[in-house]
C-alpha cells in the first residue's frame, strides 16, 4: 500500500516500511531521518524513494561545529537497536591526523571535538574509513548501483566513471540514508537527468594531474550549476584513475557538477548519441592555451610559497610513489604535506614510500584532508599564507580560508619546496 | 507599491530583512569566514561584506557538501544569514536548510539577482502557497 507524505510541493510516495519509519516504529533516529528525507525529496521533486546499497558521510568537525557534534551525540545515546545504520556507511576524511596534529599546530579542542564525533559515529555503526577516495580503495560501486555518497569528488567519479547513481548527499542526508537504507529518488537517480546538457570540445588532452584539474575547473565554470551535465569530446586517450579523480574533483568543485561524460570513454557515453538529446545543445571549445591561462591566473604575483600541499583528493598509492620518486635525494626546506587515506598509508609505510617522503623533509598525513582540517587556524598558527598544490580543487577552496594558492605540477611543487618555496627556481 | 517574485520551491519560516545581492554563487565552506560572519573568498563579489541577518540573494549553489552541516552550526552560533534566495540550488543547500530549519527559496522565471536591489528590505515567505520574495 502506498501513502502520500505530507507535502506542500510534490508528493513523496511512501511504502509500508517507510510509513512505519515515519510513525517511529524503528525509533526516533530513523523517524528523524525519513522526515528529513521527505522534506528534501519534496523540495527537489522526488516521487518516491530508491533503495541504496552504501552511504558515505562527510562530517569533519570544522563543518559540524560543536552543535553538529552534540546533535550526533544525541542520536548516539539511543539504545543500540534504535541507532545503528542498516547499510554499509563509511566516512569522508576527518579534521586531523591524531599522530601528526602537533606538527600542524592544531589545538587540543579540535582533537577533543574530533574524538567526540568519532565516538558518536562508531556508536551509530558507521565504519570510520576517513577517505575521499573510497572508489580507489574501499569498494567502487558498479554501473547502475544506487548509492548515497557525500563528497563531491566521490559522487562525480562514481556517477561518471563507474556509472553509479548518486546525488550530492551532505552529512545529514547521507546519515539519513544509512539509517533508512534509501534516499529520495530525484536528480541523478533518474535516467532523464543523466543526459548531457552541454558539449565541450577539448582540443588538447591534459598531461599532468594539475592540467586535468584545470580542465575540470574550466568545464565547471562553463557548466555553472548542479543540474548541468557536460559531455566531453576530443580526449584522445583513456585517462587513468588519478587523472579522472583530479578532473572530476575540480569539475565538481568549480561547477557543483555531479556527472560528466567522456565520449568513447565513460560507460554511459560510448557514442555521442547515447547522451546528447535531440535538438540544440550549447557547445564550448577548450584549447591548450585555456588550460595554461587557468593555471597562470592563480600563479600571478606569487613567486614564493610558504608550504606545499598534496591533498584534495587524498593521494593514491601511485601518487605517493610519484612523490617519493621526485623527492629522492632532495630536501624540502619548507613544509611539504602529503595527505593520503588510512587504507593507502599502511601500504606506503610497508613499501618504504612514507620513509622516503619524510626523509626528504615531507610529512605524510593519513585520514584527513587539508582544507577540512581547520585550515584557517593552521594558517594562523603556522604563519602560512601562500600555498602551492597540484590540486585544482584545493586551489578553488583554500582562498576562502585566507590562503593565496598557486596551481602547479607535482614536479614544480616539489621543486619549489626544495628551493625555499621559490616558484620556478 | 511592492514587487513580488515567486519561487519554484521553499522551506523554513517567513522572514523580513535587508537583502545582500550579487550575481555570484554560494558555498558556506568556499565563500565565508563563518567565525567573523563575512564573505572571505577574495574573488567573491561580496568579499568583505557581513552576511549576518541579511537575506542573501545569489545566483547558484556552488561547491561541496559541507554547507549541509555548516548552516546548522552557523545558526546555533547566531552567525547566520536571515535567508537564502537562489536562482539555482543544489541538493546540499536543501539538505542543510532542512537540518537547520533555515529559510530558503529558489527557482524564478527571471534572474532574481537582477530583480532585487542590494540593500532593499525584503520579505521571504516559503510558507505561502507559492513561495515568494517581496520588496517591502
Q: What is the pLDDT of residues B76-131, one digit of tens each?
A: 999 999 999 999 999 999 999 999 999 999 999 999 999 999 999 999 999 999 99
What confidence score (pLDDT) does residue A11 get?
85
**Band (A301; pLDDT cuts 50, 70, 90):** confident
- Identify the band that residue A7 occupies on the pLDDT scale cut at 50, 70 and 90: very low
Residues A289 and A239 in one domain: yes
Calpha distance A235→A219 (Å, rounded): 13
Instruction: Identify whether residues A154 and A141 lie together within a single domain.
Output: yes
Total domains, chain A: 3
Last residue of a domain, one of A271, A294, A317: A294
Place of cell 536571515: B82
Kind of pairing, strands A13-14 and A182-184?
A: unpaired
Shortest distance between the Cα of A312 and any Cα of chain B, in A, equals: 12
Residue A425, domain member (yes or no): no
Contact yes or no for B88 and A226 at CB 8 A: yes
Take residue A203 and report the three cell numbers written for it.
582540443
Helix A171-180 crosses helix B67-77 at what angle (to 10 degrees)? Answer: 110
Q: Nearest CA to CA, how far is B12 from chain A (Å)?
A: 11
Give the pLDDT band of residue A9 (cuts 50, 70, 90): low
At residue A101, the pLDDT reads 97
Q: How far is B118 from chain A (nearest CA, A)?
A: 22
Looking only at the bridges linking them, the beta strands covering B121-125 and B132-135 are: antiparallel
Where does a domain end: A250, A270, A294? A294
Which grid cell is A405?
594558492
DSSP B75-115: HHHT---SEEEEEE--HHHHHHHHHHT--EEE--SS-HHHH
Residues A255 and A179 in one domain: no
- Chain B, window 90-129: residues with a beta carbon less than 8 angstroms from a chain A beta carbon: 90-92, 94-96, 98-99
Is A66 an 8 Å CB contact of chain B?
Answer: yes
Q: Which of B9, B60, B98 sits opposite A36 (nearest CB)?
A: B98
Rg (CA), chain A: 22
Q: Is residue A423 part of a domain?
A: no
Same domain, A267 and A359: no
Task: Judge if A242 and A334 occupy the same domain.
Answer: no
Mean pLDDT calculated for residue range A113-137: 98
Placement of cell 501513502 in the chain: A3
Cis upstream peptide for A313 (omega within 30°): yes
Percent pLDDT > 90 in chain A is: 95
- pLDDT, one tens digit per residue, over A147-183 is 999 999 999 999 999 999 999 999 999 999 999 999 9
Provide the shortest C-alpha distance from residue A123 to chain B (in Å): 20
Cell numbers given for A99: 599522530
Specify whether A229 is located in the same domain as A355.
Answer: no
Using the beta-carbon criterion (under 8 Å), do B72 and A67 form an inter-chain contact?
A: yes
Query: How does A281-296 read in b/e, with b if 16+ C-beta sit within 10 Å?
Result: eeeeebeeebbeebbe
Burial status of residue A71 (CB atoms within 10 A of its CB: 0-12, 13-18, 19 or more): buried
What pLDDT, on a 0 to 100 scale, did the predictor assign at position A257?
97
Nearest to B94 among A40, A65, A225 (CB): A40
Does residue A149 form part of some domain? yes
Domain range for residue A74? 3-191
Considering the four listed CATH numbers 3.50.30.10, 3.40.50.300, 3.80.30.20, 3.30.420.40, the one that applies to the domain covering B3-135 is 3.50.30.10
Q: Do A149 and A274 fall into the same domain?
A: no
pLDDT of A277 strictly over 80: no
My answer on whether A202 and A233 are in the same domain is yes
Query: Distance between alpha carbon A319 and the CA centroid of its chain, in Å?
Result: 17
Residue-wise pLDDT for A51-66, tens only, equals 999 999 999 999 999 9
Whether A168 sits inside 8 A of B42 (CB atoms) is no
Which residue in the set A67, A170, A253 is minimally distant from B73, CB to CB?
A: A67
- Of A294, A310, A331, the residue at which a domain comes to its end is A294
What CATH number corresponds to the domain at position A159?
Answer: 3.30.499.10
Give the model's confidence band at A82: pLDDT under 50 very low, under 70 low, under 90 confident, else very high: very high
Q: Note whether residue A236 is domain-resident.
A: yes
Please indicate, yes or no, whether residues A213 and A155 belong to a single structural domain of this protein. Answer: no
Query: What are the grid coordinates assigned to A214, written together?
Result: 584545470
In a domain, A422, yes or no: no
A389 within some domain:
yes
pLDDT in tens, A397-419: 999 899 999 999 999 999 999 99
Query: What is the per-residue pLDDT for B2?
Result: 65
- Alpha carbons within 13 A on the beta-carbon side of B75: 19
Is B15 in the A-facing interface, judged by CB distances under 8 Å? no
Is A19 within 8 Å of chain B by CB?
no
> According to the model, what pLDDT value does residue A280 have?
82
Report which of B82, B135, B119 is spatially closest to residue B104, judged by C-alpha positions. Answer: B82
Q: How far is A60 from chain B (nearest CA, A)?
A: 9
Count CA atoms closer than 13 A to A162's CA, side-chain side.
Answer: 23
Which pLDDT does position A278 carry in this prediction? Answer: 79
Residues A28 and A131 in one domain: yes
HEC profile of chain A:
CCEECCCCCCCCEECHHHHHHHCCCCCHHHHHHHHHHHHHHHHHCCCCEEECCCEEECCCHHHHHHHHHHHHHHHHCCCHHHHCCCCCEEECCECCCCCCCCCCCCCHHHHHHHHHHHHHHHHCCCECCCCCCHHHHCCCCCCCCECECCCHHHHHHHHHHHCCECCCCCHHHHHHHHHHCEEECCHHHCHHHHCCCEEEEECCCCCCHHHHHHHHHHHHHHHCCCCCCEEEECCCCCCCHHHHHHHHHHHHHHHCCCCCEECCCCCCCCCHHHHCCCCCCEEEEECHHHHHHHHHHHHCCCCECCEEEEEEEEECHHHHHHHHHHHCCCCCCCCEEEEECCCHHHHHHHCCHHHHHHHCCCEEEECECHHHCCHHHHHHHHCCCEEEECCHHHHHHHHHHCCEEEECCHHHHHHHHCCCCECCC
Instruction: Check pLDDT > 50 for residue A8.
Output: no
Indicate whether A229 and A331 sit together in one domain.
no
Kindly state the cell numbers that stand for A107: 589545538
Predicted confidence at residue A300, as pLDDT, reads 78
- Asked whether the predicted pLDDT for residue A276 surpasses 60, the reply is yes
Q: Which helix (H) or strand (E) holds B68?
A: helix B67-77
Per-residue pLDDT of B6-53, as tens digits, reads 999 999 999 999 999 999 999 999 999 999 999 999 999 999 999 999
User: Would an 8 Å CB–CB cutoff place B89 in contact with chain A?
Assistant: yes
User: B6 — contact with chain A (CB < 8 Å)?
Assistant: no
Q: Is residue A134 part of a domain?
A: yes
CA angle A118, A134, A372 (to 5 degrees): 50
Whether residues A318 and A286 share a domain: the answer is no
Q: Do B95 and A376 touch (CB under 8 A)?
A: no
ipTM of the complex: 0.95
Amino acid at each position: 500500500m502506498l501513502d502520500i507524505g505530507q507535502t506542500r510541493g510534490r508528493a513523496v510516495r511512501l511504502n509500508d516500511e517507510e510509513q512505519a519509519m515515519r510513525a517511529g516504529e524503528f525509533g526516533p533516529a530513523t523517524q528523524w531521518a525519513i522526515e528529513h528525507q521527505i522534506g528534501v525529496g519534496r523540495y527537489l521533486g522526488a516521487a518516491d524513494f530508491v533503495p541504496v546499497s552504501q552511504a558515505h558521510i562527510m562530517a569533519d568537525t570544522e563543518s559540524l561545529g560543536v552543535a553538529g557534534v552534540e546533535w550526533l551525540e544525541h542520536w548516539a545515546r539511543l539504545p543500540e537497536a534504535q541507532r545503528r545504520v542498516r547499510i554499509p556507511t563509511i566516512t569522508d576524511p576527518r579534521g586531523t591526523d591524531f599522530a601528526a596534529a602537533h606538527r600542524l599546530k592544531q589545538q587540543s579542542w579540535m582533537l577533543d571535538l574530533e574524538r567526540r564525533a568519532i565516538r558518536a559515529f562508531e556508536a551509530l555503526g558507521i565504519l570510520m574509513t576517513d577517505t575521499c577516495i573510497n572508489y580507489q580503495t574501499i569498494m567502487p560501486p558498479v554501473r547502475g548501483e544506487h548509492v548515497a555518497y557525500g563528497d563531491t569528488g566521490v559522487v562525480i567519479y562514481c556517477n561518471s566513471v563507474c556509472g553509479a547513481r548518486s546525488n550530492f548527499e551532505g552529512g545529514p542526508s547521507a546519515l539519513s540514508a544509512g539509517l533508512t537504507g534509501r534516499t529520495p529518488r530525484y536528480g541523478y537517480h533518474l535516467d532523464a537527468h543523466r543526459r548531457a546538457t552541454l558539449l565541450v570540445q577539448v582540443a588538447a588532452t591534459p598531461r599532468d594531474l594539475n592540467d586535468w584539474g584545470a580542465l575540470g575547473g574550466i568545464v565547471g565554470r562553463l557548466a555553472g550549476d548542479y543540474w548541468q551535465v557536460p559531455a566531453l569530446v576530443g580526449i584522445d586517450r583513456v585517462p587513468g584513475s588519478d587523472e579522472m579523480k583530479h578532473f572530476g574533483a575540480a569539475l565538481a568543485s568549480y561547477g557543483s557538477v555531479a556527472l560528466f561524460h567522456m565520449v568513447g570513454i565513460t560507460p554511459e557515453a560510448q557514442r555521442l548519441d547515447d547522451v546528447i538529446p535531440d535538438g540544440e545543445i550549447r557547445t564550448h571549445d577548450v584549447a591548450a592555451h585555456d588550460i595554461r591561462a587557468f593555471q597562470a591566473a592563480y600563479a600571478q604575483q606569487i613567486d614564493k610559497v610558504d608550504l606545499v600541499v598534496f591533498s584534495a583528493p587524498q593521494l593514491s598509492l601511485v601518487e605517493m610513489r610519484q612523490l617519493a620518486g621526485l623527492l629522492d635525494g632532495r630536501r624540502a626546506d619548507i613544509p611539504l604535506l602529503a595527505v593520503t587515506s588510512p587504507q593507502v598509508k599502511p601500504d606506503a609505510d610497508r613499501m618504504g614510500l612514507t620513509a622516503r617522503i619524510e626523509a626528504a623533509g615531507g610529512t605524510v598525513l593519513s585520514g584527513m584532508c587539508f582544507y577540512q582540517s581547520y585550515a584557517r587556524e593552521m594558517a594562523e598558527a603556522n604563519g602560512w599564507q601562500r600555498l602551492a598544490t597540484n590540486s585544482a580543487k584545493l586551489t578553488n577552496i583554500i582562498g576562502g580560508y585566507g590562503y593565496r594558492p598557486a596551481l602547479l605540477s607535482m614536479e614544480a611543487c616539489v621543486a619549489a619546496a626544495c628551493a625555499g618555496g621559490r616558484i620556478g627556481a | 507599491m511592492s514587487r513580488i517574485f515567486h519561487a519554484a520551491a521553499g522551506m523554513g519560516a517567513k522572514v523580513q530583512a535587508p537583502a545582500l545581492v550579487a550575481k555570484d554563487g554560494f558555498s558556506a565552506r568556499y565563500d565565508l569566514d563563518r567565525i567573523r560572519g563575512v564573505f572571505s573568498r577574495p574573488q567573491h563579489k561580496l568579499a568583505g561584506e557581513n552576511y549576518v541577518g541579511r537575506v542573501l540573494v545569489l545566483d547558484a549553489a556552488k561547491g561541496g557538501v559541507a554547507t549541509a552541516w555548516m548552516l546548522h552550526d552557523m545558526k546555533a552560533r547566531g552567525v547566520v544569514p536571515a535567508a537564502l534566495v537562489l536562482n539555482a540550488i543544489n541538493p546540499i543547500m536543501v539538505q542543510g536548510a532542512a537540518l537547520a530549519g533555515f529559510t530558503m527559496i529558489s527557482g524564478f522565471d527571471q534572474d532574481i539577482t537582477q530583480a532585487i536591489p542590494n540593500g532593499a528590505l525584503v520579505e521571504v515567505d516559503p510558507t505561502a502557497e507559492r513561495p515568494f520574495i517581496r520588496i517591502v
